[in-house]
Structure 1
Amino acid sequence: MLMRPADIARRLKVSTSTLRKYEDLGMIPKVLRSPNGYRIYTEVHLAYFICIREMLHGFHISEIAGILKLVMSDGIDEAFWKVNKALTVIQQDKCTCGQIKQRFLQKQNGDQSKEFSIDDVSKATGIAPSTIRYWDKIGLISANRCIENNYRMFTQRHIDEILMIHALKLSMAAREEKYTIEQMRKEIYKFEFDDYNRISSIVAGIEHYLTALNRARMRSISALYHLCKQVEQNQFDEC
């Protein structure tokens, strides 16, 4: 069944320019043209457009473009692994949120005099060593240095700062706000780590955000799976 852009736009409640944007980003298969130059969409294109609209609930358009390009290049399993990785990130953020609750709300204090390696800190916070190094490099934290080998060493205070930096970033993401390094530096410098009410509010906001994002991404993955089954069926029918 062949369809006009206006037909699909009306069905999906979007503009035809939005459909062209998706096409320009390489998010749908190649579109044929009629002799007079009009686009000719098929049921396959409609399936891709429906998938895109559903996936926008949980993924950025650039992420969706990368995923669908894999589908179109016979990389369906690669596409599934890509979205699986996105779910892993949410799971890790949820675990880090749990660490924040234990440390600041349940007052599970660590040994303030003990020093930790960067790998120890990464395991304790769920934050990648590369991220911790970057935060130290730009001055969000200020790690100690071992005299013998100049390795970074961290105290419980550093762990607290790392957890709270991540919490503030997630809190801003939940409010759809962008931040600058300088803004984050000032925020962590003046942050009161014993402000139970504020920390409790931040944690609640993060938990709500992660739960909503997880649901949105599950909805997106369901749409992707449905599209991939259609793609595989079409390939089978053509054989």
Structure 2
Amino acid sequence: MAEKSQRAGRLRPVDLARAHGLSTQAVRNYEEAGILPAADRTPHGYRVYTSRHADALKAFLALVPGHGHGTAASIMRAVNEGAAQEAFRLIDESHAQLLDDRQTLRAVESALRDLEPATTSGPVTASGHTERSRPGGVFIGPLAGKLGIRPATLRTWERAGLVHPSRDPLTGYRVYDEAGVRDARMTHQLRRGGYLLEQIAPLITQVRAAGGLEPLAGALADWRERLSARGRAMLSGAAELEAYLRGRGQDPLSAP
């Protein structure tokens, strides 16, 4: 029965669903959301789909891995409404986000490469009692001097949540342990790269969650692979969307 229906160019919801491992309700939901064109109805009210709907579903499912469900749905709605240029704008935004993510990854990798192994228990040159080191930590003055910044800058980073120094119980001065020195040095590198404090904060959080720089290397490799996968998925999605546009007779080159 299904084969006879398909040979006649008519597809039931179950035909589309089975082809992609979906439920028939999902297919109906996609139509109601505008992801698929509106289906014709039989005299008894049953939906009738065609190869055009099959192509729309194929394009949507190909777009999801690269753009996400929400953006992919918006792209398909725009196409089905005849607004191809809006669909292209949404695609451009996704590519811009991917580029921004790649630049962020490169900035983090560059910052990590520039971080020399640092210890906090050795001697630190001091110019006064507020710039001394202590076992297991470094006072704010020596750390600021080593980074070539003012102590006030470190205090600004602290208010932004980028560094979390403790306090020396005798003097009350800020003390940075090994993790604190690492966070300060990474913040310094990213600031030199032009990143804003609010952009740096989630990166520092990721370093802390990974338990340091060495465990983060695996996370960065996974991040890189996921970005590459998104890029390839965008290519696949673009090919399916182009096929769907051509099938609808929407030539993007002739669109206003």
Say yes or no: TM over 0.5: yes
Q: What's the C-alpha RMSD, in Å, of the aligned pairs? A: 3.4
Q: Map residues 53-202 of structure 1 onto 2, 5 A cutoff.
A: 53-107=61-115, 111-113=148-150, 140=161, 156=188, 159=191, 165-167=201-203, 187=205, 191=208, 195-202=212-219
Determine the C-alpha separation between the residues in 1 that align with 2:70 and 2:59: 14
1:94-127 Cα deviation digits (max 9, x unpaired): 11111111112233897433999xxxxxxxxxxx
2:240 is matched with which residue?
A: 223
2:36–2:56 contact (8 Å) kept in structure 1: yes
Q: Normalised by the size of structure 2, how large is the TM-score?
A: 0.60
1:105–1:199 contact (8 Å) kept in structure 2: no
- Aligned-partner residue type, residue 98 of structure 2: I
Determine the C-alpha separation between the residues in 2 that align with 1:192 and 1:15: 38
Cα deviation for residue 162 of structure 1 reads 5.0
Cα deviation for residue 192 of structure 1 reads 9.1
Structure 2 residues without counterparts, runs of 5 or longer: 1-8, 117-145, 154-158, 164-186, 252-256
Determine the C-alpha separation between the residues in 2 that align with 1:195 and 1:20: 48
Distance 1:167 1:205, change over 3 A: farther
Structure 1 residues without counterparts, runs of 5 or longer: 117-135, 143-154, 169-186, 235-239
2:41 to 33, 44, 52: 33
Percent identity over paired residues? 20
1:186-210 Cα deviation digits (max 9, x unpaired): x57x939993302322322211221
Number of matched residues?
182
1:109-151 Cα deviation digits (max 9, x unpaired): 97433999xxxxxxxxxxxxxxxxxxx8xx6559xxxxxxxxx
1:31–1:41 contact (8 Å) kept in structure 2: yes
Q: Normalised by the size of structure 1, how large is the TM-score?
A: 0.63
Higher RCO, 1 vs 2 (CA within 8 Å, ≥6 residues apart): 1
- Aligned-partner residue type, residue 203 of structure 1: L
Distance 1:199 1:9, change over 3 A: closer
2:225 to 208, 218, 232: 208
Determine the C-alpha separation between the residues in 1 that align with 2:72 and 2:107: 31
2:190–2:200 contact (8 Å) kept in structure 1: no
1:176 is matched with which residue?
A: none
1:159-186 Cα deviation digits (max 9, x unpaired): 4865654447xxxxxxxxxxxxxxxxxx
